[in-house]
A = this chain, B = another copy of it.
Amino acid sequence: MLDKALIPFFQENMTFWPHLTEDEKNLLLDHSMLKNYAQSENIHSGDNDCVGVLLIQSGELRTYILSEDGRDITLYRLTEGEVCILSASCILSNITFDVHIDAEKASQVILINASIFQKICTQNIYAENFSYKSAIDRFSDVMWAMQQILFMSFDKRLTIFLLDEVSKTGSNVIQMTHEQIAKYVGSAREVVSRMLKYFEKEGYVKLSRGKIEVIDKVNLREMI
């Protein structure tokens, strides 16, 4: 049962709300609940997992795919007010792939029960339409990520990643191992280390154990 205070936020983001019957509205609210995830907590992984639809109230979720040997490629990140539908991919029969979702930051989400959401989607085309639309937003994100990974030269990708981190955190020091960075940019640790050493030689960054300090943003930006 969803807390009354959250209902306006819920209605605002579930844009099919006005098209629901009273029964459907009650059903949806009765099977929605607030849930907290700790930073780095895994929310959804692969095959037989159908957590439910997530509406993010605060925090950040990261969606990624994983290869058999553990390589990890980020597809997209979701933040406040966004809806995560692939955590309930069992609802959409034509979604035949599996993703993993982690809480990238400590996150508070409204979790809607998967089978209830599915029931409503089956009987109400506006709800079904909403879930398709949400999935297609992610399709666009994935295409962007794919083009980045496949087509952009690695030095540019790494540069963009470093500058993004600096602007996101507001600090010039990035507390990450080369291994972690490799996961984010879809590459191997060795490749990241080699390029970072080159950046250091050029005077763009300063490397030390478990962190990278960006010291020349102006020239680093020239790389893009």
Contact = CB atoms under 8 A, between A and B. Distances in A.
Assembly of this chain: how many copies?
2
Interface residues of A, number: 31
Contacts of A133: 94, 132
A125 interface: yes
A141 to B, nearest CB: 9
Interface stretch (A39-47, A66-74, A164-172): A66-74
A135 B129 contact: no
Interface string A148-164: 01110000000000000
A92 B96 CA distance: 22
Interface string A100-136: 0000000000000000000000000110110011011
A68 B186 CA distance: 20
B137 A139 contact: no
Nearest to A139: B139
Interface in A79-111: 92, 94-97
A125 B146 CA distance: 30
A164 to B, nearest CB: 19
A1 interface: no
A128 B125 CA distance: 10
Interface of A: 65, 67-68, 71, 73, 92, 94-97, 125-126, 128-129, 132-133, 135-140, 142-144, 146-147, 149-151, 186
